[in-house]
């Protein structure tokens, strides 16, 4: 599938990400949670839940924007409500300007009502067809749609900077009847692979973002990411074991599934995120940590607090 390339202005011309947010990067300041992506040429800052800001060779990406306050609620399906337990590292109004949004799927804990109201309508958004069709109806004008294994190129000042490829993912497994209203209302999801490119076009660094997916056997078959991409430098792993109340059905990986996916993808380093921000997350980070230690992966996992950055 042919997809439009993303052409970016140089960072000095970045526009504010949200109505009322910062139009330029704020000065660095002391404190645990700094409202700015790292000034290092390559870094990942965890804001909270699945929201990350990636600074990659002067291209700034925000993944899955979610800036609701502690105590706010999101709707995950008909009659399914989750409460935010932890505030993000900084408020939406303090978000630095980013070049584009990488959206795994259109769920409110990844693209909340405040984001939908205030996000600049001209900002490029990369996501799947389900999300981009609905975002177009909300007035967003620069949407890049990716099906599984489709790619788009990011150019800056005529130079190819990044390649983004949609990775397989499933929020739910199994067939559901028309009566399964909640399960059929869960939006499709995707993972992402970001390849940082050198000026000569060679791949310099590879980042795999799992997105909200369960682990399923096809990851080892036709969807074997490791076969297609044998060297992944960094993985942002969404865990937490999100479990729908009443139905008691898990729709994101818990610690056990997370380590299974890592064995398939085999990244050099992994940063676990998306594990305790909402009360629907029933598999705490400690579950994953115990398995990581038992499997001998301790030196390959990096744990961040909200607002902290990993530089590479």
CA 215/CA 220 separation, integer angstroms: 10
Share of the chain above pLDDT 90, in %: 73
Average pLDDT, the chain: 89
| pLDDT tens per residue across span 55-100 | 998 899 999 999 999 999 998 877 789 999 999 999 999 999 999 9
Q: Are 11 and 58 in contact (CB under 8 A)?
A: yes
H/E stretch holding 235: strand 234-238
CA 103/CA 73 separation, integer angstroms: 20
Q: Are 22 and 62 in contact (CB under 8 A)?
A: no
pLDDT band at 139 (very low <50, low <70, confident <90, very high): very high
pLDDT band at 200 (very low <50, low <70, confident <90, very high): confident
Distances (CA, A) of 213 to 216, 239, 273: 9, 9, 13
Largest Cα span, the chain: 54
CA 234/CA 228 separation, integer angstroms: 16
Q: Are 88 and 53 in contact (CB under 8 A)?
A: no
In 3D, which of 22, 52, 19 has the Cα closest to residue 38? Answer: 52
pLDDT band at 30 (very low <50, low <70, confident <90, very high): very low
Query: In the structure encoding, which two tokens stand for residue 303, read together?
Result: 């744990």
Say what the pLDDT of residue 185 is.
74
* Beta strand residue intervals within 64-215, DSSP E: 73-77, 80-83, 100-102, 125-127, 143-145, 151-156, 159-167, 191-197, 203-209
Q: Are 264 and 229 in contact (CB under 8 A)?
A: no
| pLDDT tens per residue across span 220-273 | 765 678 889 999 999 999 999 999 876 788 999 999 999 999 999 999 999 999
> For 76, how many CA atoms within 13 A lie in the half-sphere containing its CB?
25
Say what the pTM is.
0.92
Residue 33 pLDDT greater than 50, yes or no: no
In 3D, which of 58, 59, 171 has the Cα closest to residue 110? Answer: 171
Say what the pLDDT of residue 220 is.
75
| Average pLDDT, integer, range 171-193 | 76
Strand 42-48, strand 309-311: pairing: antiparallel
Q: Are 66 and 115 in contact (CB under 8 A)?
A: yes
Say what the pLDDT of residue 263 is.
94
Angle at Cα 236 formed by Cα 231 and Cα 241, nearest 5°? 125
Q: Are 281 and 48 in contact (CB under 8 A)?
A: no
Domains of the chain by start residue, with CATH: 7-302 (3.60.15.10)
CA 242/CA 249 separation, integer angstroms: 8
Query: Which residue intervals of the chain are DSSP H helices?
Result: 113-118, 129-137, 181-185, 225-228, 255-265, 285-295
CA 297/CA 193 separation, integer angstroms: 22
């Amino acid at each position: 599938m042919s997809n439009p390339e993303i052409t970016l202005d140089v960072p000095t011309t970045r526009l504010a990400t949200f109505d009322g947010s910062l139009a330029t990067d704020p000065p660095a300041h002391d404190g645990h949670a700094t409202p700015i992506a790292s000034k290092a040429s390559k870094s990942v800052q965890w804001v909270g839940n699945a929201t990350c800001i990636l600074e990659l060779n002067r291209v700034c990406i925000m993944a899955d924007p979610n800036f609701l306050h502690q105590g706010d609620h999101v709707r995950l399906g008909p009659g399914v409500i989750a409460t935010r337990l932890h505030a993000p590292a900084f408020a939406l109004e303090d978000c630095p300007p980013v070049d584009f949004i990488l959206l795994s799927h259109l769920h409110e804990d990844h693209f909340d009502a405040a984001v939908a109201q205030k996000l600049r309508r001209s900002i490029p958004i990369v996501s799947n067809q389900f999300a981009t069709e609905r975002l177009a109806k909300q007035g967003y004008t620069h949407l890049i749609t990716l099906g599984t294994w489709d790619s788009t190129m990011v150019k800056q000042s005529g130079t190819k900077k990044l390649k983004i490829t949609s990775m397989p993912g499933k929020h739910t497994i199994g067939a559901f009847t028309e009566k399964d209203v909640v399960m059929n209302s869960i939006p499709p999801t995707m993972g992402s692979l970001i390849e940082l490119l050198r000026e000569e076009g060679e791949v310099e660094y590879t980042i795999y973002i799992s997105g909200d997916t369960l682990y399923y056997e096809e990851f080892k078959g036709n969807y074997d990411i490791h076969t297609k991409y044998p060297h992944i430098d960094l993985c942002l792993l969404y865990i937490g074991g999100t479990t729908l109340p009443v139905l008691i059905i898990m729709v994101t990986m818990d610690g056990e599934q997370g380590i299974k996916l890592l064995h398939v993808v085999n990244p050099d380093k992994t940063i676990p995120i998306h594990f305790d921000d909402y009360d629907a997350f029933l598999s705490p980070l400690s579950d994953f940590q115990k398995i990581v230690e038992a499997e001998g992966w301790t030196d390959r996992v990096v744990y961040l607090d909200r607002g902290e950055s990993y530089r590479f």
